[in-house]
Structure 1
Amino acid sequence: MSDPNLLLIESARVLIDQGQLTEAADVLNKARAQIPNDPRVYMMAGVMSEKAGNVAGAFQLMRTGLELAPNWAPGIVVLAQLQARQGQLAEAKENAATALQLDAESGMVRDGAIDVAHHMMDVNLAVSLLQDGLKLQPTNAKWRLLLANDLSHLERYDEALALWDGLIAESPHDEKALTGRMHTLLAAGRLNEAAAMTATLLALDPANAVYAYYDARAKGQTPTHQPAELNRKLFDTAAHIFDQQLVQGLRYQLPEQIARKLVALHPDKKIRLLDLGCGTGLLGARLGKLDGRLDGVDVSPKMLEQASRLKLYDSLKEADLHDTLRQAEAESYDVIAALEVCVYVGDLTEAVPAAWRVLAPGGRLIFSCEIGPEDGPDLFLNPTTERYVHKRSHVEGVCRAAGFSVDSENTVLRYQKGQPVHGFVITAQKIA
């Protein structure tokens, strides 16, 4: 029996993924005209509404769709994914489990349940779902790749490498598998084998700055900076769930803490603030509208899309931190904030003096770093987290050498695997 709406639903899905929401709406209207009570139309319209920023409308549309088909497993798991993205984790987990009970053999349903597990940051659950799925579809390359990544995250390196080896044997030039194997080897400290992988990747793409960065790491070097391309990809991928994962999952409170500090220093909010690495606008959301200027900069366009929805920033620009500071006018800001940015920037000997030039007399540079031991190197790259760790005394010295007076305090930046990640916040004031 033919399905007159199938092609339209699939076309709408592709258009939504591409951000062509007006075109997707036209296609869904055609589908609804053909089958007025097709639950798939409502579910897809819900996905589209969320993409447009209308979360309440998305929930309403999806629930209408499920009223038409209460036991439709694909619809239930789509609702679960929406709930997970919006932080309703208990409800999402329950609905994902229900969908799997209704149709455990559906690849689409299992994909959705795996996605929910990842949103919940429950890697063990994701591994269980993937392993069960591979019993049904042993050759599913997507699931094998996800499982390899998750096993590596759990430090089950040998199991992860066995999966990477199988994927690469089937497709020797698969850059996702080659890169995944490289990451696992780096995390396991097997640098010589990782160097062989980076050599293979550079042979495929010699001008790739990300591969060159990992090649240096595999050779035991500590690159002074991470390439912008690496962070752009990382944060573009995470943008739609960033706030939920960081604030709820990792208990990240730094924007709230710094916003309180800034309001105490400037109760009238008459400041010109440059938010470097602004991400989704967490600092701006905590500050509210300024009686001055709030400019946000980030390397990730997807993160900037999220920040733009707040309608609090006077400007949002896709740019690298160093380029921004080099190009900004002298004495053009009262505050420069860089929260959870230096862990990706690395060496600060260029950025700190550049910030001094951009700040007005009396202005403040406020930034956070992950703390390293005082008897260790000035700069260290953690191979497991792939984040830079800074020695506090060295960072304070860089600030003083640039002409700042320095105040610093220890803090917990966030929680990783349930354990606190310790850091410090520098408030460096340009002496008037």
Structure 2
Amino acid sequence: MKQGSFDLAGLMNRRILVMLPLGFVSGLPLALTSGTLQAWLTVGGVDLKTIGIFTMVGLPYTLKFLWAPVMDRVVPPWLGRRRGWMVLTQLCVAIGLVLMAATNPKVHPGWMAAYAMLVAFLAASLDIVFDAYRTDTLHPQERGLGAAVWVNGYRIALLASGAGALVLADHVGWQMTYLTMAAVMLAGSFIVLISPDPTFVAEAPKSMKEAVGAPLAEFFGRPHAVGFLAVIMLYKLGDAFASALQTAFLIGGLGFSATDVGAVKGLGVFATLLGAFWGGLLMIRSGLVRSLLIFGVLQAVSNLGFVALAVAGKNGTALTAVIVVENVTGGMGTAAFVALVMSLCDPRYTATQFALLSSLEALGRVFAGRPSADVVALVGWTQFFVLTVVVALPGLWAVWRIRHSIEPEQKVAASTDVKESVATPISN
């Protein structure tokens, strides 16, 4: 399919359709080791200091690039390098959730913390191999839509393991809730069995030394490597600053209730799903570079809605409009950004390179909180949100600066050690 053409029926093939359930399985464990687990600990009577320690359970998600080379180097004896790891890690996550379900957090908080950390490690490993599989399976022109479908599955899973698990726990208890989630993870392994083989298959690194060093050498050997890193680190930075203290602004700055904010943020989740899917469809016509620029401008300009909200004050209608627009444009930007990261990965080292690049992007979200608070204290909310638009501009400039090098088709063609296998559409 050429850029600019649009054939939705032709895109509804196994490669695209399987991204929804696989995205769901990828996102399911996250809340079960964070927000949902905190709720279980609180209801179970665990003291607040101990609950605070449990927040460290999410550390593997930020450090997953450290063991990603293992998943590039080691090839399981079943289903190949990507699908083999997918089945293995899913089964292990399910076992970990069973262990959590069998543990009383009030009586054995240490064991619960150990099992939760194990599940987080395995789930982060699952993310590594899922990212690699998605990158190696989707054709360049499918990456925008495929990423959008994946994001939708991931977000739906967050709802299921977050709000859905809380409701379920009120009816059947925490142990049965976690056992149910383990069963869902187990069922997800069957999705892998019917998933297509990767489209772009490369030989695994021959040693751990190659698996660790070659991905970096290959990436930094490219003419515009520094420019690519600038785009990765800066493209979503404006969004990161705008969202860092968003809840504090709405509740503490404008006086909305927690219920008001919770309700509109729930609506925002669905707006993100819509934005991601819409962005994926638009990318088929516009291509990657134009989409990055257009969606980047939209997600930057959407921050001005918070400026208007700061001026207007407490207004429910305005709040809903601002959150919806912000989440739609953010979802569009995310679809384009994930497609970009996929296009930058060499199929020989997809797991390692994707993990490294996504970790660099996450730095903005991790460290935006404290600087945001300092800026708000200095200039106030209105000027702060104006500045978030300014913060987004370097990312757009970086995209424009290397626009001629962002060509996923060229990247695939340049991988001489890669062979392409044909995946069969199921649209007919």
TM-score relative to the length of structure 1: 0.22
The one of the two structures with greater contact order (alpha-carbon pairs below 8 A, sep at least 6) is: 2
Query: Which has the larger Rg?
Result: 1
Higher relative helix content: 2
